Amino acid sequence: MVKFGEPWLMLCRPLGDSALMIAVGSAADEATAQQVQSLSDVLRENLLPGVEDVVPAFTTITVHFNPRAIRGVHPQSVVEEWVSRSCTAPRSVNARPRREVCVPVRYGGIFGPDLPLVAETTGLRLTEVVELHAGAHYTVAAIGFSPGFPYLIGLPKELHLPRRATPRTSVPAGSVAIAGGQAGIYPQSTPGGWNVIGRTELALFDLEGRPPAHLQVGDHVRFQPVEGKVLDD
């Protein structure tokens, strides 16, 4: 484990013999998301020969490399030194314009079967749940679970709820859901345990797209209710 100093205090841990995990922070918040985005940009723009991928997450960045393609006796040490140099002069966190993506959502009814339960648990009306959810500003902190699935930070505290006690065996593609302190969108029909409150027709993953995932780490997201009325209110 290597500890880097200013301007960011980070830890660098090996993941086997072909990957390195950089711990940027300890909390999945907006400030850490900006730091992860900034350092990821720096690493990608000054890519070390032999590094195959730079993968940002909530509080970490994983660097995947080919040990045989890294020059030097100790490939991991070479990669660590490259990361350390990149950390000494990171770009401004505001240097890369961040996209804002609008996601149209049909809330409630067959599209959001858990909306009534969310309202009952929080003591809010259906319309109040929708207003809170759609009125918040979200940031994509990570992509994972299934291809293109965005983990969104920024969910209002009033809507922080645990996952469902019993996960569904199949959640429809486009389902907009919440769990813990995060919001998310299911790009494909998959099993899942989040509370589904709506659905979007926006396609989040296209295997032929470049990049395939519509949303990227660092993007801002806002939800836009459609049809002008909450179903079942």
Q: What is the mean pLDDT of residues 81-91?
A: 75
Q: What is the mean pLDDT of residues 24-47?
A: 83
Q: Pick the more confident residue, 30 or 91.
A: 30
Between CA 60 and CA 33 the distance in angstroms is 9
Task: Give the length of the chain.
Answer: 233
Residue 68: strand, helix, or coil: helix
CATH fold of the domain at 2-88: Gyrase A; domain 2 (3.30.1360)
Q: Pick the more confident residue, 177 or 15.
A: 177
229 pLDDT tier (thresholds 50, 70, 90): low
pLDDT tens by residue, 106-157: 999 999 999 999 999 999 999 999 999 999 999 998 888 899 999 999 999 9
- 67 has a pLDDT exceeding 60: yes
pLDDT at 13 (0 to 100): 87
Q: What is the CATH number of domain 100-225?
A: 2.40.100.10
Positive/negative CA dihedral, 39, 44, 49, 54? positive
Between CA 233 and CA 231 the distance in angstroms is 6
pLDDT at 51 (0 to 100): 94
- 4 has a pLDDT exceeding 70: no
Given a contact cutoff of 8 angstroms between Cβ atoms, the answer to whether 48 and 28 are in contact is no
Token pair for 8: 């960011």
93 pLDDT tier (thresholds 50, 70, 90): very low
pTM: 0.80
Could you write out the DSSP letters of every residue in 176-195?
Answer: EEEEBTEEEE-SS-EEE-SE
Could you write out the DSSP letters of every residue in 43-54?
Answer: HHHTPPTTEEEE
Positive/negative CA dihedral, 7, 62, 175, 120? negative
232 pLDDT tier (thresholds 50, 70, 90): low
- 1 has a pLDDT exceeding 50: no
Percent of the chain topping pLDDT 90: 56
Q: What is the mean pLDDT of residues 42-65?
A: 90
Burial of 197 (0-12, 13-18, 19+ CB in 10 A): buried
